[in-house]
Amino acid sequence: MNPFPGAELVMNLAFGLAVLATAAGALIAVLSRRLIRGVCGLALSCFGLAGLFYYLHSPFLALMEILVYVGAVCVTIVFAVMLAEPDEPPRTDAERGPAGAAWTGAALVLSLAVGYGITRLGVSHPWIRVAEPTHEGTLPEIGIALLTTYSMAFETISLVLVVAILGAVVIARHGRTQP
């Protein structure tokens, strides 16, 4: 007997909300003309994605997703939008014509084909579920794995981040005194 009768319904509703937020956020991020709305769409999508991560038994990664994507990436993009142009430029007559429509149609066809193909592949493949995993993937196990099995990759990623930050400073600082 389930001690909380509506639990299953609540779980399903929250899951549906997470999927909806992910999909709607992705659509807003791609389709909106104002870049700042696109960034907000990306943030919404990342919140939904964090919910999906939580349902996949990874609460740590759900928190990291919010912390890194919403807290760092989106805020950085907002800064770039403020420093550069806020909007997509209005379409010129040439872009409104048949050539522009053909370009949009080609993008739509390509992305739909890729999405359909990958969905079909994932759904039709007979995945073999693992009933009893060797590791459950708890946070202490992740920490131990990062410092033992994956220590080389861990050090490399930190090196990549340092080089990226230094490179960003060098690139963005160049020519700062020129008008």
C-alpha 30/C-alpha 63 separation (Å) is 24
141 counts as binding other proteins under rule CB under 8 A? yes
Q: Is 23 in the site for other proteins (CB under 8 A)?
A: yes
Q: Given candidates 10, 57, 96, 152, which one binds other proteins under the rule CB under 8 A?
A: 57
Decide whether 3 or 179 has the Cβ nearer to other proteins: 179
136 belongs to the binding site for other proteins (CB under 8 A): yes
Give residue 145's region: left, alpha or beta (phi > 0; psi -120 to 50): alpha
Smaller CB separation from other proteins, 99 or 169: 169
Residue keyed to tokens 């991020």: 29
Q: How far apart are CA 20 and CA 8, in angstroms?
A: 18
Smallest distance from other proteins to CB 167, Å: 6
User: Is residue 102 involved in binding other proteins (CB under 8 A)?
Assistant: no
Number of residues that bind other proteins (CB under 8 A): 89
Q: Is 150 in the site for other proteins (CB under 8 A)?
A: yes
Helix 139-147 vs helix 151-173: angle between axes, to the nearest 10 degrees?
80
- Confirm if 51 and 23 have CB atoms less than 8 A apart: no
Residue 5 interacts with other proteins (CB under 8 A): yes or no: no
- Asked whether the CA dihedral 10, 11, 17, 20 is positive or negative, the reply is negative
Greatest alpha-carbon pair distance for the chain in Å reads 73
Per CB under 8 A, 94 contacts other proteins:
no
If binding is defined by CB under 8 A, does position 147 make contact with other proteins?
Answer: no
Encoding tokens for residue 66? Answer: 């919010």
Q: Using CB under 8 A as the criterion, what x/- string covers residues 60-89 for binding other proteins?
A: xx--xx--xx--xx--xx-xxx-xxx--xx
Query: Does residue 24 touch other proteins according to CB under 8 A?
Result: no
Indicate the residue type of 176: R
User: With contact defined as beta carbons under 8 Å apart, do 14 and 51 qualify?
Assistant: yes
Range 37-56, binding other proteins (CB under 8 A): 38-39, 41-42, 45-46, 49, 52-53, 55-56
Q: Which of 1, 93, 98, 174 binds other proteins (CB under 8 A)?
A: 174
